[in-house]
Amino acid sequence: MELTLVVLIIIVGLTFDFTNGFHDAANAIATSISTRALTPRVALAMAAVMNFFGAFLGTGVAQTVGSGIIGAPEATSGLLLVLCALIGAIGWNVFTWWRGLPTSSSHALIGGLVGAALAASATVHWSGILDKVILPMLLSPLVGVVLGYLLHTGILWVFRRSAPRRTMERFRMAQTVSAAAMGLGHGLQDAQKTMGVIVLALVTAGWQDDFSVPVWVIAAVAAAMAVGTYTGGRRIITTLGRRIVHLDPPRGFAAETAAAAVLYTTAFLVKAPISTTQTITAAILGSGATRRFSAVRWQVARSIGTAWILTFPGAGIPAALLYLFLHAVTPL
């Protein structure tokens, strides 16, 4: 039973990572596609490659997710908890992808872990969730908005006397770099969350003593996310790239650069599992607001905000119910 559950968790974890890739592909490339800096096929291929290499840049976030969110029970009960958390997160990812809503796969995973842990009467590290999840969740979009706004304001001032057509062409080229940086940051942040859950399963099963991430886990997760990213989530790409605000290359460059800066800072310095989706969406709002606040389609932004709020219960409640059901019918 234990071996079966561990293998199943690895398979379902990689499936979650795949859904994370196609759900969050828009994070890195929506702005570049909408401004026509890159074609969809080239943008998806670049994002997939950068996601793959980004997964190898660090494991600090993985250790936070593995050890700082919940304390899973030992053996099969703990493994069942982790499995239900992953299934709850996958369900939310698929539902919001179908609705075209750019919600957070990271917060869906954490919501699934907390929901299943509460159902299992397991330990929930509320102080860790406050410090590493809730506060970064609130602060990273605010920083993204401000950075996006300030960066595009600076671009407008520096290039105020430049020929518009030439400026647009320059920033279309620059967006290749900023989109690559965003793809690398997405791999750095989001791939580590699945690594953390797989390592949590290995520790719970007693297969390893600490929360260090084996190389084979990094490689498997990186490959699954890269394939998922190349598959792409075109519904969400449309929402991020066109429905929130009309983007031109300078605004797209400002949004991607601001979001990438937040992703790297939180991954390397804070080791916090923040949402790449929230960060890039906020940066798009900030860069778009430099035209005028009415240029932003705030109704769409409010719909996205509502989906963000519902992410924790949307993944956590199904995970909790599934755990209660499987615990009742499975001999442990």
State whether residue 123 is helix, strand or coil. strand
State how far the alpha carbon of 146 is from the alpha carbons of 4, 27, 130, 305, 327, in Å: 48, 18, 23, 17, 46
The gap from C-alpha 305 to its chain's centroid, in whole angstroms, comes to: 15
d(CA 184, CA 263): 9
**pLDDT tens digit sequence for 278-325:** 888 888 888 877 776 655 565 656 666 676 788 899 999 999 999 999
pLDDT along the chain (332 residues), means of 10: 90 90 69 76 85 92 89 84 94 82 81 94 90 85 91 92 88 89 90 92 90 94 90 59 65 91 91 84 82 60 71 94 90 62
Place of tokens 């297969």: 207
pLDDT of residue 175: 87
| C-alpha distance across the termini of the chain, in Å | 8
pLDDT of residue 56: 94
pLDDT of residue 299: 63
d(CA 126, CA 15): 27
pTM, two decimals, is 0.85
What's the token pair of residue 244?
């929130």
Amino acid identity for residue 187 in this structure: G
pLDDT of residue 317: 96
d(CA 74, CA 140): 34
pLDDT of residue 1: 75
pLDDT of residue 27: 61
The gap from C-alpha 98 to its chain's centroid, in whole angstroms, comes to: 17
Amino acid identity for residue 205 in this structure: A
Give percent of the chain above pLDDT 90. 37
pLDDT of residue 125: 92
Amino acid identity for residue 162 in this structure: S
State whether residue 73 is helix, strand or coil. coil
Task: Work out the number of other CB atoms within 10 angstroms of the CB of residue 188.
Answer: 26
What's the token pair of residue 289?
């607001």
Residue 275 has φ and ψ, to the nearest 5°, of -90, 120
pLDDT of residue 234: 58
The continuous run of DSSP H or E covering 70 comes out as strand 70-71
Q: How many helices (H) and strands (E) in the chain?
A: 13, 2
pLDDT of residue 85: 95
